[in-house]
Structures are given as C-alpha cells and as structure tokens.
Amino acid sequence: MDDRMFRSAMGKFATGVTVIASESNGETHGMTANAFMSVSLDPKLVLISVGSNAKMNKVIQESQKFTVNVLSGTQKEMSMIFAGQIKQEQEVDFGLFEGMPIIEDSLVSLACNVYDTHEAGDHTLYIGEVINLNLKDGEPLAFFEGKYKQVM
Ligand code: FAD
C-alpha cells in the first residue's frame, strides 16, 4: 500500500478539529490537529499526535503543558490559520486559562500537563493530564476526506 492510499483511508474517519496551543519563553504557538482522543477517566487523560517536524514539539517539550481547543463550526478560519492554510500572517488574541493560552469561543478548552510522551514513527504522542476545562454550547467544525464540513 502506498502513502496516498493510507492517507485516503485515514481521511475516511470523520473527526472534529482542534487547535493545540502552548507557550514557551513568552511566545505562544498554535497548531491545528485532528489527531486527538480521550484516553482515561481516572486520571483524566487525553492524547494528541504531533508530526516530528512540527514546531509545536519544541514548544510542548519546553513548557510541558498544552491546551486542546475543540473548534466550533464558526471557527474554520482559526483552523486554517494554525494549519498554515492562510499564508498571510494573522494576529490572534489568545485567552488565558490556568495560565495557558486558549482559543476563545471554542466548544471546549482543556488545560493539560504533559503526563507521558511516546515517539511513534514520524510523530510524537503526548498524553496530557487534564487539570481543568471550559465548556460551551455550539455545533462543531468537522473534517472528512481532507475537507472541512459543517455539522448541523
Ligand atoms: P507552523 O507551521 O510554524 O505554524 C502553524 C501556523 O500557525 C503558521 O501559519 C503560523 O503562522 C500560525 N501560528 C502559530 N502560532 C501563532 C500565533 N501565536 N499567532 C498567529 N499565528 C500563529 N499535524 C499534526 O502534527 N497532527 C495533527 O493531528 C494534525 N491534524 C491536522 C488537522 C487538520 C484539519 C489540518 C488542516 C492540519 C493538521 N495537521 C496536523 C497539520 C498541521 O496543522 C500543520 O502541519 C502545521 O503547520 C504544523 O504546525 P507547526 O507547529 O509546525 O508550526
């Protein structure tokens, strides 16, 4: 099986869209990610998968903290900004939650401390222990077959 076929197969799994945010040395960095899952209730753990070449790795490794912001259907532009899909640099005002940067108006913002890290092929898996969360009502932004979708 070639890479394209594997990517197409994985794209058949419809997901929500998150922005991972973290801060180190006074600089806030965000990255769009859909490789996110809930792992454990006791303790409360979640998992994200970050490509080895992503700048986000260095930021999380330095801060040992990150937030996961589950985007609403009205936040497609946020996803595009933090995936580098909008080439022109945009100014984003982050909120602050538990001393960590968050994307305001997300459906959920989870504040996490790094609990464990695991290298897996060309990605690094970060398990985060959720220390607090923010919840809002709204419809999610979805991603399927490489395209954004609205969920009604
Ligand atoms: P960069 O490429 O340097 O940054 C990403 C973008 O965010 C840049 O355009 C940058 O200007 C902007 N940005 C960062 N911080 C700020 C700030 N403070 N203010 C304003 N703009 C800022 N990759 C994965 O590794 N794992 C995934 O699960 C994953 N899922 C994805 C899901 C979707 C739907 C999409 C579209 C992409 C996904 N990607 C994923 C790809 C990933 O989002 C991009 O490769 C991203 O560019 C990698 O970010 P980076 O940390 O290397 O930083």
pLDDT in tens, 16-63: 999 999 999 999 999 999 999 999 999 999 999 999 999 999 999 999
**Which three-class secondary structure state does DSSP give residue 144?**
strand
Reported as a single tens digit per residue, the pLDDT across 61-119 is: 999 999 999 999 999 999 999 999 998 888 999 999 999 999 999 999 999 999 999 99
Quick one: pLDDT band at residue 134, thresholds 50, 70, 90? very high
Q: Please check the confidence at residue 11 and state whether its pLDDT lies above 80.
A: yes
Give the separation between CA 2 and CA 22, rounded to whole angstroms: 34
Indicate if ligand 1 lies below 6 Å from the C-beta of 16. Answer: no
Residue 87: what pLDDT? 85
pLDDT at 40: 98
Q: With a 6 A CB cut-off, is 90 part of the ligand 1 pocket?
A: yes
Residues 11, 14, 19, 22, CA torsion sign:
negative
What is the pLDDT, as a whole number, of residue 10?
96
Strand residues in the chain grouped as ranges (E): 15-16, 18-24, 27-33, 36-40, 45-51, 65-70, 95-97, 100-102, 108-120, 123-135, 141-144, 147-150
- Centroid of ligand 1 to alpha carbon of 134 (angstroms): 22
- Residues 6 or more apart whose CB falls under 8 angstroms from that of 99 comprise none
Task: Give the per-residue pLDDT at 152.
Answer: 72
124 lines ligand 1 (CB under 6 A): no
Q: How far is the CA of 21 from the centre of ligand 1 (A)?
A: 10
pLDDT of residue 151: 86
Tell me if 89 CB under 6 Å of ligand 1.
Answer: yes
The pTM of the whole model exceeds 0.95: yes
123-135 and 45-51 strand pairing:
antiparallel
Rounded distance from Cα 152 to ligand 1 centre (Å): 26
Sign of the alpha-carbon dihedral angle for 62, 67, 72, 75: negative
For position 90, what pLDDT does the model report?
A: 86
The first and second tokens of residue 77, run together, are 């532009």
Q: Which has the closest alpha carbon to 32: 78, 72, 75?
A: 78
Which of the two residues, 150 and 103, has the higher pLDDT score? 103
